[in-house]
Structure 1
Amino acid sequence: MNTVETPPSEVRTLRPVFLLAATLVAAFAILVTAFPSQSGVLLLQAQTWASRNVGWYYLLAMTLYLVFVVGVALSGYGNVKLGADHDEPEFSYLSWAGMLFAAGISITLFFFCVSEPLTHYLQPPQGGVGSGEASARQAMQLLFLHWGLHGWGVFALAAMALAYFAYRHNPPLALRSALYPLIGKRINGPIGYTVDALGIVATVFGIGADMGFGVLHLNAGLNTLLPVPHAPWVQVALIVLMMGAAITVAVSGVEKGVRLMSDINMLLAIALLLFMLFAGPTQYLLSTLMQNLGDYLGNVVGKSFDVYAYGGRTDWLGDWTVFYWAWWIGWAPFVGLFIARISRGRTLREFVFGVLLIPLGFTLAWLSIFGNSALDQVLHHGQEHLAQLAVDDPPTVLYALLESYPWSRAVIGVVVFVSFIFFVTSADSGTVVLSTLSSHGGVPEEDGPRWLRVFWGVMIALVTTGLLLAGSMDALKSAVVLASLPFSVVLLLMLWGLTRALGEESQRRKASQYSPVPLIGQSRHQRGWRQRITQAVHFPVRDEVYRFMDSEVRPAMEAVAAQLREQGLDVSTDFEPGQMTLEVDHGEQQVFRYQVVLQGYLTPSFAAQRFRNQRYYRAEVHLYEGGQDYELVGYSRQQIINDIIDQYERHLQFLHLTR
């Protein structure tokens, strides 16, 4: 893979992507704000059309995403690294797990953890008005379906595509890079830029929906604690206040302080979960958690394809499952980029299972404990009004539940505080990710320009405000379903691109087993046995390896490069202190890279006395895919030439197999 694009050394705006995405988002924000009533009607009609005509497609696509990532993890490709073969994870497993855990917490968990299961209880997808234990059990099955493996499967797919191509093949850390196996260099043209723009648009609406639900939730909490009305002007004021705080954080460089606050916030969230567990019917909540997990795992396959074709409420699928699948898709570039950045050096197997299972455990425990606490009040304590409140006024039902618990005002105050911090940190992260997706250059871990963060923060605020004015929850859901539809196709193309790229990994393994006929000169294993033993227990210092690279490696590379150029090939060499590189460009096909890198190590304890307490150095061979775990010190110039040609012939065999 050779994208030929040379990004700038510093981060700059990628104008085609930015202009296309900004135009689409700004046009929508202006129209929906200027004409809220008409926009609300049109959005609702569009969602009705989508749920009736492409609901089946959303269910099929989400299932394909999940099956694909699990299949990759269980296959032989599970050992492939997100990075070069010699890369090691930047973060310890515990730190990585902690960051994945943080990615699973969102303000919307507060909004839906009580309102959704009570709504499903009272208004199930099939049959009449729900009641009794059977309806409660079905409500929790649906809740787990919407927040379960499917959602994290789409996050895993997006993150896998971003990390695999950026860290293993070195194109930009961009969505379009995953399409290189399909369209080649055209990823750096209109097609690729459109893909990135669609990802940005989907992300804006995904984050906007999250912010919208968050604002409704916070307004209800403030109304419970203080004489703050539950009104549109209050919600607009909250959007301005919190997005202003998020933009300030994004451009001021105070992320460390906010990250500390976020860590404290997670501890408070865990404390809330434990409070609900032990202040409520503990045994009942633990039993229902086990029951919910069993029901979910036992029915997840059937529910993945259930479009209620043989009866049911016609609007239910669009209002819930289709909306959720579109929402997860809209968040995929945002969360996928975050997960990709922290996962370099992980194998695909540990990456997939980590992403699928680590955040999921906390999320399902949260939903089960809060959801079953509410259902317990309805089923066993005569609080049937809670279920009707979930239908009539969803943002308020969590607070109504908490008012039946001890220290209710203090607990509600903590919920509002935790929700506020989650809102600001999510919005801050969202603006940073959007600025990154609409820029290029620098290193993959570098964020986009600050002015872009301000711009996208303002756009998210405008979109959220317009959608709330256009119809509150219904408008939020409709916009997400429509904005995510084109990006769902992009994800399928990314899946296809990954499939082809991983197929090339398989061919590369076959090519590495190809043994070309040796040319003139001894191979390493034909040297005298005394020479081999001497070399094996020799631990050269840095200057010795420098001299070897300059006197033997460089002339060998120059000789091979000159001969390849005579054959009409495009060959480049680069000789830096401690790193020498020979590359052969094969146009659309993958470049051949033979690199010798100076690497230092601590001398092992078994070394002879004269070598102890010093570092020793190796001239290690790296190819395009990473380090090859052997070195050249002790090779003659002719043997180095033979090794370069051996590796080049293997590469040609690889190109033959993937032609």
Structure 2
Amino acid sequence: MRTTSDSATDAEISDMQTDYVVGQDNIKGRLGPIGFDIHNRVFIVSALASIIFIVLTLLFPERAGGLFQSIVAFTTGSLDWYFMGLVDFFILFCLGLVVSPYGSVRLGGTAARPDYGYLSWFAMLFTAGIGIALLFFSVLEPVYHANVSLPLGIPSPFGADGALNPDAIADATALGLAGTFLHWGLHGWAVYAVMALALAIFTYNKGLPFSIRSAFYPILGERVWGWWGHAIDILAVFSTLFGLATALGLGAQQANAGMNFVFGLDISTTTQVIVILLVTAAALVSVWRGLDGGVKKLSEWNMVAAVLFFIFVLFAGPTLVGLSGFWTGLSTYVTEFVPLSAPFGRDDDAYRQSWSVFYWAWWVSWAPFVGMFIARVSRGRTVREFVICVLLVPSLFIFIWMGVFGSIALDQLYADPANSLVKEYVIDAYRPELALFGMLNELPLTGLMSTLGIILALVFFVTSSDSGSLVIDTITAGGKIDAPRPQRMFWATVEGLIAIVLLLGGGLSALQAGVTATAIPFSIVMLLMCYTILKALHGELKRR
């Protein structure tokens, strides 16, 4: 079996490409008269397994719901140490690349230049990798962590009798924001960076197909084009499908809640299913138009609307409170980074297991989707530039957004707890999908801005779906980025159907189960990728 050496000579790279060409008869073909250009085995196994899952969940929703709850309980209760340590390792790995000579390697070779300017690049990073989180969690998490989960055991501002404790407000607010920043900052983007970097190096520098399996050539050699490679790509498809379904399900719940808040529309699973169907239809149009005509334009428009929405909240609310909240949260995040990230030695199991472990599993399950998308739009960047931008720029944007929204919501809550809708939706009744609208209720133009929030949620919903469809299509088409449009539309439809059956089969617990079930095996794939990245980068330096 031939594998790449540390020197990764031109001859060895040519061998890799030859192996790929030779292996095409085994991994690629056409599916009859409809003209799908596919991996026969990867596409068929993924499609059939997805359809079987959809049918069985619809036929046996109660049994499916029980199974989903068991998966969540096992993952968060027994594997919490593993996921916490795993993502900490990814951060250290990325930082090591930045300060090492490997950081000078350019994705695509020394002559490559970026395909997109910074503005377009950042816009696509945000809408693909953040999406609905900016709206769903920006109020929910800071308020919940500051008053209920209390990371690191800070005393609650509300005592046992429900009375407000002014002395605890500052500490609880700071830790609530820092706990939120933990989940949406460096840790998650390090997961994306590892996946994206592996794909970019082996595609742009080694000339291999744009597929997850390509990153494993240094380990598997020619076997990567056989069933070992098929298994890796199939696992990536399932991981992406369930990670996206979770986001789509949360987006549907928040859009439905917003419609109830503004228009009085009933909150029900039926309404959420209709929302998913309508947004999936919109995603199909965007998918049909392709990356530049659909995803890129929609991402840029969505970012403009999101920035305007943010500016309104910042200046319509207590501006200084919002800005100081961002700074307080950021400074506490930095000083408490190690204790918040530690897999052991913390007496806050509820916070770690209910929030952090689920998030780390969610980030891992999204890694094939977001990683492939980031890699696809990042050709021409150096490794150092790539890692720094992917880690810091989106994280800083999220910190500003969630710091402002979260601190304004907390200020509303503590100013008048008895009449705070934020308190009612997050602390008393726990209706997380309404948290954002509870905060908007105390700002001017509530109806108009709530409607804009609904529209933003729906468009983020669409951009996640169409971006994910393009990625899954690339995997199941053997790394082709220009596969026929009908198969992209097929996967957009499957994503919507899986989100629907998960909602019908158990709601939030089912969505969480889909994420964690696929994240466990795929996390092992990502650990191995770290080794192959180092092998490839070492070879690039030797060639230069």
TM over 0.5: yes
Output the CA distance in 1 between the equivalents of 2:313 and 2:256. Answer: 22
Partner AA of 1:431 in structure 2: S
Tell me the percent identity: 37
Secondary structure of the corresponding residue to residue 12 of structure 1: strand
> Is the alpha carbon distance of 1:385 and 1:405 closer, same or farther for their aligned partners in structure 2, counting shifts above 3 Å?
closer
2:372 counterpart of 1:357:
no
**TM-score, length of structure 2 as denominator length:** 0.87
2:249 counterpart of 1:212:
yes
How far 1:415 moved relative to its partner?
0.9
Give matches, 1:611-622, under 5 Å.
none
Q: Which residue is 1:79 aligned to?
A: 104
Q: Which residue is 1:342 aligned to?
A: 377
Q: Which residue is 1:405 aligned to?
A: 443
How far 1:322 moved relative to its partner?
0.9
Q: Which residue is 1:189 aligned to?
A: 226
Output the CA distance in 2 between the equivalents of 1:9 and 1:128. Answer: 59
> Is the alpha carbon distance of 1:97 and 1:450 closer, same or farther for their aligned partners in structure 2, counting shifts above 3 Å?
closer
Output the CA distance in 2 between the equivalents of 1:258 and 1:189. Answer: 32
Output the CA distance in 2 between the equivalents of 1:27 and 1:408. Answer: 44
Secondary structure of the corresponding residue to residue 443 of structure 2: coil
How far 1:384 moved relative to its partner?
5.1
2:116 counterpart of 1:116:
no
Q: Which residue is 2:274 aligned to?
A: 237
> Is the alpha carbon distance of 1:48 and 1:128 closer, same or farther for their aligned partners in structure 2, counting shifts above 3 Å?
farther
Secondary structure of the corresponding residue to residue 84 of structure 1: coil
Output the CA distance in 2 between the equivalents of 1:215 and 1:140. Answer: 25
Q: Which residue is 2:190 aligned to?
A: 153
Greater share of residues in helix: 2
Output the CA distance in 2 between the equivalents of 1:84 and 1:483. Answer: 34
**TM-score, length of structure 1 as denominator length:** 0.73
Whether the aligned pair in 2 keeps the contact of 1:211 and 1:423 (CA below 8 Å) is yes
Output one character per residue of 1:203-222: Cα deviation in whole Å (capped at 9) or x when no partner: 00110000000000000111
Partner AA of 2:80 in structure 1: G
Q: Which residue is 1:5 aligned to?
A: 20
Partner AA of 2:63 in structure 1: Q
Aligned-residue Cα RMSD (Å) equals 2.3
How far 1:373 moved relative to its partner?
1.0
Equivalent in 446, 453, 478 of residue 440 of structure 1 = 478
Output one character per residue of 1:301-330: Cα deviation in whole Å (capped at 9) or x when no partner: 2322244x55334x4433211111111111
> Is the alpha carbon distance of 1:506 and 1:262 closer, same or farther for their aligned partners in structure 2, counting shifts above 3 Å?
closer
Q: Which residue is 1:481 aligned to?
A: 516
Structure 2 unaligned regions, length at least 5: 1-12, 31-35, 158-168
2:466 counterpart of 1:428:
yes
Q: Which residue is 1:649 aligned to?
A: none
Output the CA distance in 2 between the equivalents of 1:31 and 1:410. Answer: 42
Whether the aligned pair in 2 keeps the contact of 1:46 and 1:478 (CA below 8 Å) is yes
Whether the aligned pair in 1 keeps the contact of 2:155 and 2:172 (CA below 8 Å) is no
How far 1:101 moved relative to its partner?
4.4
Equivalent in 256, 278, 301 of residue 264 of structure 1 = 301
2:390 counterpart of 1:390:
no
How far 1:388 moved relative to its partner?
4.1
RCO higher in 1 or 2 (8 Å CA, sep ≥ 6)? 2
Structure 1 unaligned regions, length at least 5: 510-659
Equivalent in 409, 414, 417 of residue 455 of structure 2 = 417
Q: Which residue is 1:589 aligned to?
A: none
Output one character per residue of 1:411-452: Cα deviation in whole Å (capped at 9) or x when no partner: 11111112222212221221121111111265xxx2333232
2:156 counterpart of 1:130:
yes
Output the CA distance in 1 between the equivalents of 2:291 and 2:533. Answer: 37
2:325 counterpart of 1:288:
yes
How far 1:253 moved relative to its partner?
5.7
2:201 counterpart of 1:164:
yes
Partner AA of 1:224 in structure 2: F
Q: Which residue is 2:67 aligned to?
A: 42
Which deviates further from its counterpart, 260-269 or 360-369? 260-269
Partner AA of 1:111 in structure 2: F
Partner AA of 2:460 in structure 1: F
Output one character per residue of 1:489-545: Cα deviation in whole Å (capped at 9) or x when no partner: 111111111122223334445xxxxxxxxxxxxxxxxxxxxxxxxxxxxxxxxxxxx
Partner AA of 2:359 in structure 1: Y
Output the CA distance in 1 between the equivalents of 2:405 and 2:278. Answer: 29
How far 1:20 moved relative to its partner?
2.7
Output the CA distance in 2 between the equivalents of 1:305 and 1:27. Answer: 39
Q: Which residue is 1:537 aligned to?
A: none
Output one character per residue of 1:592-614: Cα deviation in whole Å (capped at 9) or x when no partner: xxxxxxxxxxxxxxxxxxxxxxx
Give matches, 1:55-74, under 5 Å.
55-74=80-99
> Is the alpha carbon distance of 1:462 and 1:97 closer, same or farther for their aligned partners in structure 2, counting shifts above 3 Å?
closer
Which deviates further from its counterpart, 190-199 or 36-45? 36-45
Partner AA of 1:414 in structure 2: L
How far 1:164 moved relative to its partner?
0.4
Output the CA distance in 2 between the equivalents of 1:41 and 1:100. Answer: 36
Give matches, 1:483-498, under 5 Å.
483-498=518-533
Greater share of residues in strand: 1
Secondary structure of the corresponding residue to residue 471 of structure 1: coil
Equivalent in 132, 143, 151 of residue 180 of structure 2 = 143
> Is the alpha carbon distance of 1:432 and 1:253 closer, same or farther for their aligned partners in structure 2, counting shifts above 3 Å?
closer
Which deviates further from its counterpart, 497-506 or 34-43? 497-506
Output the CA distance in 2 between the equivalents of 1:258 and 1:94. Answer: 14
Output the CA distance in 2 between the equivalents of 1:454 and 1:97. Answer: 26
Q: Tell me which structure has the larger Cα radius of gyration.
A: 1
Whether the aligned pair in 2 keeps the contact of 1:438 and 1:448 (CA below 8 Å) is no
Output the CA distance in 2 between the equivalents of 1:474 and 1:400. Answer: 24
> Is the alpha carbon distance of 1:64 and 1:465 closer, same or farther for their aligned partners in structure 2, counting shifts above 3 Å?
same
Q: Which residue is 1:30 aligned to?
A: 55
Whether the aligned pair in 2 keeps the contact of 1:215 and 1:235 (CA below 8 Å) is yes
Equivalent in 305, 326, 333 of residue 361 of structure 2 = 326
Whether the aligned pair in 1 keeps the contact of 2:362 and 2:516 (CA below 8 Å) is yes
Q: Which residue is 2:163 aligned to?
A: none
Which deviates further from its counterpart, 499-508 or 146-155? 499-508
Output the CA distance in 1 between the equivalents of 2:260 and 2:211. Answer: 42
